[in-house]
Structure 1
Amino acid sequence: MKRFKQAVSLILLIVFLFPDAGFAISIPDELKLGKEYLQLIKDKGVILHDPVAQKMIDIVGNAIVKPLPPQPFHFDFYMINDDSFNAFATPAANIFVHRGLIASLDTMDELAGILAHEIGHAVGRHVSQSIDRSKIVGTGSLAGMLAGILVGAASGSSEAGQALTIGSMAAGQSAMLTYTRENETEADQKAVLFLEKTGYSPDGILESLLKIRQTDYQGIENIPDYFKTHPGTTARVSHLSGILADYKPPADKPLPPENFDYNMVKYRVIGLYGDLDTYIPKIELALQNNPDNVAFHYGLGLLYGRATRMNEGIEQLNKALAKNPFEPMILLELGRLYIRNTEYNRAITILDSMADDPLLEDWAVFNRSIAQIHTGNLPAAQKGLEHVLSTDKPGFEKANYHMAEIMSRESKQALSNYYLGVYYARIHDEQNAARQLERALDTLDDEKMREKAENELENLKGNGKKRTR
C-alpha cells in the first residue's frame, strides 16, 4: 500500500506538470498503447497460465463478445496472479481478472456479469475517453508511465511483491484514467443487454457486486480494489436493482455456452495459488459441514500438496476422485502429487489415462515426462517434452529445464546448455540465459540448433542484454 501511495503521488505530480499536454487518442494510438501495456505486464510474469481457469474465462468472455457488432479491437482475457477482488479493462480491449475475484464468486452468472461490465467499458471506449480527459503527454510514454510506475516498481522484489504491485495496478490506473459515474452506469446497462444474448443471467452482475460488497473490510485501505476502480458502487447497486426488478428474459434466450463446474475451478484456483494459512482452515471447516463436497476435497488436496503434506493431499484427491471418477482436473493433480511423493509409476499410470483429454492432455504429457525421467525412461520423457514445447503454449517454460536435464544425463552438454539457456530466457533471467547460450554456441555442431541458439541470444540482445564475454 505504501508503494501504491507513492505511485499515485507521482501520477498526480505528472498531471500537475503537464496540464495542457492533451491529445485525442485514436484507434491506432490505442492499439499501440494496448500492445505496449500488455507486453510490459507479460514481462513481469504476473499473468497466470492456468489452463482450466483460463478456458473458463475465455468461454464466458467470448460468449459475451460473439453477438456484438464489429469492434475496432480484438478482445483478449487474462488472469492476474493476485488475491484481490478485481477486474479491469486496459486500452485496446484487454480484460484482466484477478484470481481473487474467481475465488470470491460462486457461479458462472456472477463471472459473466463482471466480464460483461468490463466489456461494456471496452465497447464504450471509456478507457480511451479517460486517457483523453487525463491530458497526459502521449500514448508512447503513457504505457511506460502506467506499467513503469505501477509494475516496474516491483523490479528486484520477490515474486509475491511483484504480484502485490500488480494488484494495485488498476487502482493506480483509476487515479490517472478515472471512469466517470456515467461510464459505470453505461457499462452496467450495456452488460445487461449483452447478457440477454448469451444465456447467462443479468442477475449475476448485481449478485457479484453484493457479494464483493459483503467482504469483511474496514477502512479505506482494505476496500476491495474493484470498488476503488469502479466508482459510485452504492448508486450502481441501486440502479441495477431497479433495472432487474422488472427484468424478464427474452423468450428466445439461448442456452449458456459450454459449461464448467464453477466450484471445481474456484477451488482449483484457491488450491493451487491461494494463501495456505487462510484457506486450509476455511476448507477444513467447510468439509465438516459438507463432507461430500467434491470441490472442497479437491481444493484441500491441492493446498495440502503445496504445504508438503503429501499423504494428506493424496488422500483428499482420492476422496474427490471417488465421488467424481475420471474427472481430468483431479487426475492431473493426483498424478502431480504422486510424482512429488516419489510414486512415479503410479503417477505414470494415472497420467496415461488422460492422453486424450482436449484441455489437459499437454499438461498430463508434461508431468508424465517428469515421472519418466525419474524412472530412467529418457527417450519417452524426451519425446513428451518435445511435443509440449512444439505447442508453444505459455506455462511450459520448465519443459526446457527438464530437457536440459535429459541432455546432461545423455552427456550432450552443448544441448543441455542450450535448453538451460532457453529456460532462463523464458523466466526473464537474462544474465544466466546469455551465459548458457554462449556456452552452447562454443561446442554445438548441429547447424539447426546453432541457429536456434543464435536467435535466442539475439532476442536477449534486443532486450538490451549483451554477451557476457
Structure 2
Amino acid sequence: MTRCPPASGPAILRASNQDTVSQPRRTALRPSLGRRVATVAAAALIGIASALQPAQAQGGLPLVRDAETEELMRDYAAPIFDAAGISRQQVEIILVNRNDFNAFVADARRIFINVGVILDAETPGEVIGVLAHETGHITGNHLVRLRQALANAQIMAAIGVLLGAGAAAAGSAGGGAGAVTAGAGLAQRTLLAYRRGEEAVADRAALTFLEKTGQSAKGMLKTFSRFADQSLFSAQYTDPYSISHPMPRERLNALETLARQSRYFDKPADPALQARHDLVRAKLLAFTSHPNVVARAYPRSDRSLAADYARAVATMRTSSRREAVEAIDALIRRQPNNPYFHELKGQALLESGNPKAAVEPFRRAVALRPREGQLNIWLGFALVASNSNSLLPEAERILKAGLQMDPNSPIGYSQLAIAQGRQGKTAEADLSTARGLMARGDFRAAKRYAARAQKNLKRGTPAWLQADDIVSYNPPDFARQR
C-alpha cells in the first residue's frame, strides 16, 4: 500500500493514507467542566455518533478513487436525488477504503459509503436503498439536528457530573456516583430516542424516493433486515451501520408493511445495472482480497464476465505482465467498448514499467469516456512517465483537462508539476505542486510552494491569484499544523 498511482482505478486501494478527509467534530464541552465531564459525555454518545468517530480517531478517512465504481454510484443515486429535489451536482458520493458495512452523511454535500457496502450487496437495490436512506437524512436536515442533540446530551451528562461532584463534596460519595451514572444514562436515552425518530423519518423518505423512481424497496429491506437480526448479538459483533442506524425488529416490520404496498415491490433489477454491479463487486474484491479469496469466490468453472474480470485483476497483481495483459485482452474481446477494461490494461502496463505501451489503452479509455477526469489523468500520467519531451505539451494539456473534471486529485497535480517543470515552467510547476498539497490537506507545505510560485508569476494573472488564494487560506485548525 505504498505505491502512488494516478487518482483512478482501484490501485488507489493500495495508497489509502494519501487521500483523506477530515470529519466533523462533536460539539466541544466548555473547558471549565473538566476532563471528567468530557469522559462521561463521550460514554453517553457511544453508538450514536459512531459513524463519525473512526476518521476522527485516525485523523482522516482512507479514500478509494475508482472511476468505474464512482460512475456506478452516481448512476444509482441520480434518480434518487431527482426524486428528492436535490441537484445531482450538489451531493458527492465518496468511497471509503473499508470493508465493513457503513455509510453516513457528513454534511449536505457528501455521502460516504464504504467499499464493504458494495462487496456485501448482491443486487443494485441493496446499495440504492442505503443511498436513498442517507439522502433522506440530507433532505431532513438531520445532521444539523443531530449536532444539536449531541450538544444537549453533553449538557445532560455534564449536569450529572456536577451533581455527583456536589454530592461527593457533601460527604455522599455513593450518591455522587449515582448522579453521574444517571446523567450519562439520561443523555444516552435521549440521544437514542432522537436517533430512532430521525432514522424512521429517513426510512419513509427513502420509500418515497424509491416509489417516485419506480424502484423496488426489496433490496433496502434485505439490508436493514440484516441489522435487525444483529441486535440479538453482542455489540462487539455489531456492524457500525447497525450501531449508527439502530434497527429494532418492530421498525423493520413497519417499514416492510409500507414497502409491500408499492406496485414496484416485486420489480426486478435492471439487467444492465445488475451486470455493472457484478463487475464492480468482482473488481473491488480482486483488488482488496488475497488471490485465494478471489479463487474461492470465482472458481474456474464460473465463466461469467464478472468472474473473468476478478481473475484478470488477480493475475495482474500476482503474475507476469504478459499473463495479465492476455487476461485483460480476453475481457476486451468480450466487451470492446468497456472503457474500464482498457483502463485496466493501461494500468497493468504502466505499473509493470512500460508506460509507452500504456498510452494507447488509456487513449482508448478516454475516447470512450472523454468526460471522466480520472481516465484523463491516467493518460497524462502515462505520457509523462514515457520520458519523451515531445509528449510533455500533450501531457500538460490532458492533465489540465482531467483536473478540470476532477479537481481533487493529488496525483494529477503532481504529474502536471512534473510535466511543467520539465518544460522549464518552474513557477507553474510550483503552483501545481501547491494545489496538489492542498488536495492532500498539507496546507503548510502548500503555502510554501504557493508563495514561491507567486514570486515568479505576473501579479494579477489567474495563476498569481490562485497562488494568492492558497497563501491566504487559513482552515479552522491550521494553527495546529504550524
1:335 counterpart = 2:346: yes
Residue of structure 1 equivalent to 2:469: 455
CA distance in 2, matches of 1:289, 1:461: 52
Distance of 1:456 and 1:70 partners within structure 2 = 31
Q: 1:334 to 1:360 in 2, by over 3 A?
A: farther
Distance 1:453 1:69 in 2: 37
Please state if 1:108 is matched with 2:124.
Answer: yes
TM-fit CA distance, 1:203? 0.9
The answer to whether structure 1 residue 203 and structure 2 residue 214 are counterparts is no
Aligned in 2, Cα 1:58/1:40: closer, same or farther, shift over 3 Å? farther
Q: Secondary structure at the match of 1:78?
A: strand
Contact 1:199 1:255 in 2 (8 A): no
TM-score (norm 2): 0.67
1:362 aligned residue: 373
Change (3 A) 1:226 1:333: same
AA partner of residue 430 (structure 1): F
Q: Partner residue of 1:85?
A: 101
Which residue in 1 is equivalent to 2:202? Answer: 187
Tell me if the contact between 1:348 and 1:372 (Cα under 8 Å) persists in the aligned partners.
yes
Q: Could you tell me how far apart the structure 2 residues matched to 1:210 and 1:17 are?
A: 31
Q: Deviations over 1:142-181 (max 9, x none)?
A: xxxxxxxxxxxxxxxxxxxxxxxxxxxxxxxx99954544
Matching residue of 2:172: none
The Cα shift of 1:352 comes to 2.0
Unaligned runs of 5+ in 1: 1-6, 19-36, 139-173
CA distance change for structure 1 residues 349 and 255 in 2, over 3 Å: closer, same or farther? Answer: same
Shift of 1:104: 0.9
Pick from 445, 450, 466 the counterpart of residue 432 of structure 1.
Answer: 445
AA at the equivalent of 1:191: A
Query: By how many angstroms is 1:351 displaced?
Result: 1.9
| Alignment TM-score, normalising by the size of structure 1 | 0.69
SS in 2 for 1:67: helix
- Which digits, 9 at most, give the CA deviation of each residue in 1:225-247, with x for residues without a partner? 11111223433444444445665
Amino acid at match of 1:380: E
Instruction: Give 1:212 deviation, angstroms.
Output: 6.5
Q: What's the CA shift for 1:206? A: 1.6
Match for 1:198: what amino acid? Answer: T
Q: Which residue of 1 aligns with 2:32?
A: none
Tell me the distance in 1 between the aligned counterparts of 2:63 and 2:348. Answer: 24
What is the CA–CA distance in structure 1 between the aligned matches of 2:91 and 2:468, rounded to whole Å? 34
Matched, 1:220 2:235: yes
Contact map agreement 1:15 1:136 (CA 8 A) in 2: no
Distance in 1 between residues matched to 2:240 and 2:371, nearest whole Å: 32
Alpha-carbon distance change, 390 to 182 in structure 1, aligned in 2, over 3 angstroms: closer
Report the 3-state secondary structure (helix = DSSP H, G, I; strand = E; otherwise coil) of the residue aligned with 2:111. Answer: strand
Is the radius of gyration larger for structure 1 or structure 2?
2
| Distance (whole Å) between structure 2 residues aligned to residue 283 and residue 434 of structure 1 | 44
For residue 95 of structure 2, give the secondary structure of its aligned residue in structure 1.
strand
User: Equivalent residue for 2:361?
Assistant: 350
Q: CA deviation at 1:190?
A: 3.7
> Are 1:400 and 2:413 matched, yes or no?
yes
2:114 maps to amino acid: H
Name the residue aligned to 1:282: 293
Question: Which residue of 2 is the match for residue 65 of structure 1?
Answer: 81
What is the CA distance between 1:327 and its match in structure 2? Answer: 0.9
Partner letter of residue 382 of structure 2?
A
Alpha-carbon spacing, 1:248–1:430, altered in 2? closer, same or farther (3 Å): closer
Deviates more, 1:60-69 or 1:443-452: 443-452
Listed one character per residue, the Cα deviations across residues 416-468 of structure 1 (whole Å, up to 9, x for unaligned) are: 33322332232122333333334434545686344433332222688746999
Match of 1:382 in 2: 396
C-alpha distance in 2 between matches for 1:113 and 1:102: 12
Distance 2:116 2:229 in 1: 15
Question: Given residue 67 of structure 2, which amino acid in structure 1 is its aligned partner?
Answer: P
Q: Give the aligned partner of residue 167 of structure 2.
A: none
Aligned to 1:25: none
- Indicate conservation of the 8 Å contact 1:414/1:441, yes or no: yes
Q: Give the deviation of 1:353 after TM superposition.
A: 1.9
In the TM superposition, what is the alpha-carbon distance from 1:113 to its structure 2 partner? 1.8
Partner in structure 1 of residue 335 of structure 2: 324
1:248 deviates by 3.7
Q: Deviations over 1:85-125 (max 9, x none)?
A: 01234554753322211111021111122222333344455
Once the two structures are overlaid, the 10-residue window that deviates more, 106-115 or 128-137, is 128-137
Cα distance change on mapping 1:218 and 1:318 into 2, 3 Å: farther
Residues 265-299 of structure 1: per-residue CA shift (max 9 Å, x gap)? 22333345x3x33xx32221233254312223323
Q: Tell me what 2:277 maps to.
A: 262
Q: Residue 64 of structure 1 contacts residue 195 of structure 1 at CA under 8 Å; is this kept in 2?
A: yes
Counterpart residue identity of residue 374, structure 2: W
Would the alpha carbon gap of residues 128 and 450 (structure 1) be closer, same or farther in structure 2, given more than 3 Å must change? closer
Q: Which amino acid aligns with 1:264?
A: L
Instruction: Find the counterpart in structure 2 of residue 4 from structure 1.
Output: none
**SS at 2:83's partner residue?**
coil
State the identity as a percent: 20
Q: Report how far residue 372 of structure 1 moved.
A: 1.9
Kept after mapping to 1: 8 A contact 2:105/2:143: yes
Could you tell me how far apart the structure 1 residues matched to 2:278 and 2:225 are? 19
- The residue identity in structure 2 corresponding to 1:326 is N
Distance 1:436 1:368 in 2: 26
Distance 1:93 1:450 in 2: 29
1:358, CA displacement in angstroms?
3.7
Offset of 1:48 from its aligned partner?
4.0
CA contact (8 A) 1:47 1:78 kept: yes
Distance 1:301 1:430, change over 3 A: farther
For 2:219 and 2:403, how far apart are their aligned partners in 1? Answer: 39
Bigger mean CA deviation after superposition, 178-187 or 332-341: 178-187
SS at match of 2:113: strand
Moved segments of 4+, more than 6 Å: 212-215, 253-258, 465-468
Unaligned runs of 5+ in 2: 1-25, 30-34, 43-52, 155-187
Distance 2:41 2:222 in 1: 42
* Distance in 2 separating the partners of 1:177 and 1:307: 49
CA-CA distance at 1:389 after TM superposition: 2.7
Greater Cα offset, 226-235 or 100-109:
226-235
Between 430-439 and 307-316, report the one with greater CA deviation: 307-316
Instruction: Flag the 1:93–1:435 CA change in 2: closer, same or farther, 3 A.
Output: closer
Deviation, 1:364, is 3.0
CA contact (8 A) 1:404 1:417 kept: yes
CA distance in 2, matches of 1:425, 1:129: 31
- In structure 2, the CA distance between the partners of 1:105 and 1:382, relative to structure 1 (3 Å rule), is same
